[in-house]
Structure formats: structure tokens, C-alpha cells
């Protein structure tokens, strides 16, 4: 299942999140940079990210999709340490 990374612009910073994950990443330059930083944290190849849509009704929200799968076992293990 593809991984959907949402970014939103808040407080002069782009913040990237994935539903069901506690980890986030942020960047002040742009949404793509925040999404790429989160992809690296999740051990996904950031070069495979594709911008899927921009939410025109909620300004500052962008969706990026990665074709890979999130390794939930790895995510659980990191939360324990």
C-alpha cells in the first residue's frame, strides 16, 4: 500500500506527517523538503515521492505519495527505544 505524506504550512514552517505515525518532519524552505525528510526518517527513498494534490480549500496542505510500503515493525521498534 502506498504511503501518503501530508504537509501543511503552519507557523512559517512546513510540517510533514503520515496517518498512524508519531514521527514528523519539518522544513522552512518548502513542502517537498519536509516530505523528503519524513521519507528518510521512515527509511523510504525520497526520490520516489510524487506530489499528488494540493488542497485548494485548505491552503497550505499538500499530499505526496510514495509507492513503497511502510515497515510497521520498524516503526514499533523505534517507538520502544
> pLDDT (tens digit, 9 = 90+) per residue, 16-36?
999 999 999 999 999 999 999
> pLDDT (tens digit, 9 = 90+) per residue, 45-80?
999 999 987 766 667 789 999 998 877 645 455 555
Q: Which residues contact 3 (CB under 8 A, 6 or more apart)?
A: 18, 39, 42, 44, 65, 66, 68, 69, 70
Amino acid at each position: 500500500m502506498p504511503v501518503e505524506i501530508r504537509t501543511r504550512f503552519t507557523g512559517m514552517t512546513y510540517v510533514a506527517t503520515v496517518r498512524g505515525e508519531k514521527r514528523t518532519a519539518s522544513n522552512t524552505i518548502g513542502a517537498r523538503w519536509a516530505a523528503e525528510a519524513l521519507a528518510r526518517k521512515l527509511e523510504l527513498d525520497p526520490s520516489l515521492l510524487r506530489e499528488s494534490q494540493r488542497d485548494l480549500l485548505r491552503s497550505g496542505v499538500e499530499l505526496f505519495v510514495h509507492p513503497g510500503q511502510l515497515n510497521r515493525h520498524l516503526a514499533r521498534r523505534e517507538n520502544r527505544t
